[in-house]
Amino acid sequence: MPSTLPELIERYRADLRAIDSFFSLTYSSARIETLREFHQTWLKNIESLPFDSYDVETRIDWLMLRNINQRALALLDLDQTRWHEMQPLIGFATSLWRLEEIRQRVDPIAGRDAAATLVNVSKQIKELDTWLKKPDTPKQNQTVALRAHRLTLEMEASLKRWFAFYQGYDPLFEWWVKDPYTKLSKSLTDYAATLRERGAGLKRDDRDTIIGDPIGREALMSDLKADMIAYTPEELIEIANREFAWCDNELKKATREMGLGEDTKAAMERVKTLHRDPGGQPKMILDLAVEAIDFVTKRDLVTVPHLARDSWRMLMMSPERQRINPFFLGGESIIVSFPTDTMTHEEKLMSMRGNNEHFSRATVQHELIPGHNLQRYYNQRYRQYRAAFETPFWREGWALWWEMLLWDLGFPRGPEDKIGMLFWRMHRCARIIFSLKFHLGQMKAQECVDFLVDRVGHERENAAAEVRRSFEGTYPPLYQAAYMLGGLQIRSLYNDLVTKGKMKPKDFHDHILKGNALPIEMVRASLTQTKLDKNFVAKWRF
């Protein structure tokens, strides 16, 4: 048994990586059962540890280790529910999972038996394909059909790896299996297309329609509990509307400063035209990055080590990736969105307008310093084991908090900068509303796009990319809501500790960075050195 809790957490992470690497098929019963036993065993072992003897930080680690195992079990339940929803469309997957499990265990396999399995699966797929194409077949749930489409493609890729393992090394196996394998591989590809077109109702060349996979209120509440947010989804939407009202008021002030009266849309439109020419974006980003670093260091707001200041890098985002991320991304590098010569004329204009100078000035510091780049620097040097506790409320909340603080400290130089910063502030309010309402089943994806265009001022293609990113990427359901909410949590802590003179700004920010990733309620306990009880339940109303 490891001698310290951090060592135990590192062992947990290593064991989990080993299981995830071996059981790579998302919905397979073997993966779900193995992971369920793993997390249940860890929960039992955690309870045997001497919690009462721990200091504040170790109690936080114990509570978080218990929390992530509880969350993992809840997510396995969701996976199992989703599999049962798909099973009528893709029940044949269990046969292919068994073949892959035999290969992974390197158990003996008879080519004749494997061939028979492949032939049988091909027959099942043909029956399902024929049934889906019948005019009188009931309309399928779009979300479930598209999920089954993705799983079918996963099966095809898994089958390819399975066959390649034996091909050329086992002549008798290949003699039996090659023909059934070739036919099944094509059947899987064709059936995936049928699921997408006839099941989900998407045309073959449709790259624009967004479907997503809403999780429902019960799963949202489970996720909120795991991220230690003591609010309901409905209460969080109310918070977003309150913050939206503040943004609306400030936007009107900035519009009047520009001499445009109450016409906020005209003000937003003018700011969008203030972009650099093609090729000019990288130099502008460099200048903005240096400006932000100088702003926070001269005011002694946070420790920026020289290596962090001097080692960040810049990359340009591909046109295809901009379909998902129309704006900057950041971390170790800042990844810049701007038009390329392969885009259409309309796409080029939208990209330039959406990444104009004043919008960009509000995001460079979010992605670099003092935002994500500085986070990553500290993450790699302090309490690295807490990477297991990663939460977007800490990750994105930190970067969003700096947008709030810089506003308060006079970072915007004039009304155009204010509008740039307010655009993103409204964007984060909108993310709470549209993402939660989508998962509650109250908004469709296209309605979310329209909401971003009408309420925030997005270019339509950029709004579509934002929604696509939210619901078709790898982001968890609460990720988009976490920006603003995490920022509000840190702002509440700052007001309690710094504004009231209990801490200096630099000590406050350095402590958060050196504590590594935690739900903000755990950050609060760390900052205030509160010894939490073993039966802790999140209840902080920030």
541 inside domain: no
Same structural domain, 384 and 241: yes
How many folded domains does the chain comprise? 3
Segments in 368-459 forming alpha helices (H): 372-379, 392-408, 415-439, 445-451
* DSSP bridge partners of 335: 315, 329
What is the domain range of residue 154?
Answer: 91-199
Same structural domain, 146 and 233: no
Q: What is the pLDDT of residues 475-534, one digit of tens each?
A: 899 999 999 999 999 999 999 999 999 999 999 999 999 999 999 999 999 999 999 999
Tell me which residue of 231, 128, 114 sits closest to 181, measured CA to CA.
114
Please name the residue that has the structure tokens 């984060």.
Answer: 428
140 inside domain: yes
311 inside domain: yes
CB–CB of 517/501 below 8 Å? no
Domain boundary among 69, 87, 105: 87
* DSSP bridge partners of 334: 314
d(CA 327, CA 325): 5
- C-alpha torsion 38→39→42→43, nearest 10: -150
Sign of CA dihedral 502, 370, 321, 311: negative
d(CA 267, CA 260): 7
Same structural domain, 52 and 126: no
Same structural domain, 37 and 173: no
234 inside domain: yes
Residue 325: the pLDDT is 64
Same structural domain, 411 and 478: yes
Determine how many CB atoms are found less than 10 A away from the CB of residue 212: 21
Domain boundary among 54, 87, 120: 87
Please name the residue that has the structure tokens 């710094």.
Answer: 498
209 inside domain: no
Residue 523: the pLDDT is 98
Tokens of 126: 């043909």
542 inside domain: no
Residue 276: the pLDDT is 81
Same structural domain, 234 and 126: no
In the chain the first and final C-alpha atoms are separated, in Å, by: 39
Same structural domain, 181 and 251: no
Residue 344: the pLDDT is 80
Q: Which residues contact 359 (CB under 8 A, 6 or more apart)?
A: 271, 272, 327, 420, 423, 424
Same structural domain, 244 and 369: yes
At 265 the three-state DSSP class reads helix
Residue 359: the pLDDT is 87
Sign of CA dihedral 360, 363, 365, 367: negative
Tokens of 376: 């990553």
Tell me the three-class secondary structure of 170-191, residue by residue: CHHHHHHHHHHHHHHHHHHHHH
Domain boundary among 66, 87, 108: 87
Same structural domain, 70 and 129: no
Residue 152: the pLDDT is 97
Residue 274: the pLDDT is 84
Please name the residue that has the structure tokens 């399902």.
Answer: 128
Tokens of 160: 């390819």
pTM for the full predicted model: 0.91
CA 262 to chain centre: 36
240 inside domain: yes
- For residue 343, the one-letter residue type is M
Residues with pLDDT less than 70, the chain: 1-2, 319-331, 339, 473
The Cβ-side half-sphere exposure at 319, using a 13 Å CA radius, reads: 10
Same structural domain, 155 and 59: no
Same structural domain, 57 and 95: no
Same structural domain, 243 and 338: yes
208 inside domain: no
d(CA 329, CA 201): 32
